[in-house]
A and B are shown apart, each in its own frame.
Chain A
Amino acid sequence: GAVVSQHPSWVICKSGTSVKIECRSLDFQATTMFWYRQFPKQSLMLMATSNEGSKATYEQGVEKDKFLINHASLTLSTLTVTSAHPEDSSFYICSARDPTGSGNTIYFGEGSWLTVV
């Protein structure tokens, strides 16, 4: 079964509104989670590293004020797309590492399809 859960799987929002995507680790505590974005027929691009109890680390070119990340607990990170525009429409997916496992225990959520109309 899934060890990292993402919600919602699909979301359609109006341009100018905000939408929140949740990423939960179900069986372990994750001090670090990662958010990726994937445009159609392209690869996954890392957006930011979500750190529990501290500010997220954003990759170059990713607007921190537009993509708000909150990692308030060891099992939950949220990505809020603020003032969404159609160009923000994409597939967003999170990952988390189980710290009790080996270097390959990196789990992905199911992903969230965002469509901004």
Chain B
Amino acid sequence: AQKITQTQPGMFVQEKEAVTLDCTYDTSDPSYGLFWYKQPSSGEMIFLIYQGSYDQQNATEGRYSLNFQKARKSANLVISASQLGDSAMYFCAMREGRAGSYQLTFGKGTKLSVIP
């Protein structure tokens, strides 16, 4: 079974609108962390936002917020007021375990295209 599932291969959003990118995860470990990364065509992985499994509140970072629904095992990324520069691939990733391993498991990604 896939550990990270991103069901939207591609998404379109109008500039200045909000968009939600879906991510569901599967783990039996009570301690885990969820990440969202942006990957432009240059290839670099740009960290956007992080949510720990024990965090009580949903994470927010500027225009990015994470809609964390633990019971549903979902960690959707919400981008508000989309900009043309937001067009890129977006990856959801998970690390499992409280300590030690910081290797990440990635979803297949969602290609976001912002339309002017």
Contacts and interface: CB of A to CB of B under 8 A. Distances in A.
Q: Is the interface of A mostly helix, strand, loop or mixed?
A: strand
Contacts of A46: 103-105
Q: How large is the interface on B (under 10, 10 to 19, 20 to 34, 35 or more residues)?
A: 20 to 34
Contacts of B95: 103, 106
Given A110-B43, A110-B44, A103 B52 contact: yes
Interface in A85-100: 91, 93, 95, 97
A104 B107 contact: no
Nearest to A10: B43
Contacts, number: 57
Nearest to A110: B44
A104 B104 contact: no
A91 B106 CA distance: 15
B91 A43 contact: yes
A38 B91 CA distance: 12
Contacts of A106: 35, 47, 95, 102, 104
Contacts of A110: 42-44
Given A106-B35, A110-B42, 13 more contacts: A32-B102, A34-B102, A34-B104, A43-B91, A44-B91, A44-B93, A49-B103, A104-B47, A104-B50, A106-B47, A108-B37, A110-B43, A111-B43
Interface of B: 33, 35, 37, 42-45, 47, 50, 52, 91, 93, 95, 101-109
Interface of A: 32, 34, 38, 42-46, 49, 91, 93, 95, 97, 103-104, 106-111, 113
24 contacts: A34-B103, A42-B108, A43-B91, A43-B107, A44-B104, A44-B106, A46-B105, A49-B101, A49-B103, A91-B43, A93-B43, A93-B45, A103-B95, A104-B33, A104-B35, A106-B47, A106-B95, A108-B37, A108-B44, A109-B44, A110-B42, A110-B43, A110-B44, A113-B43
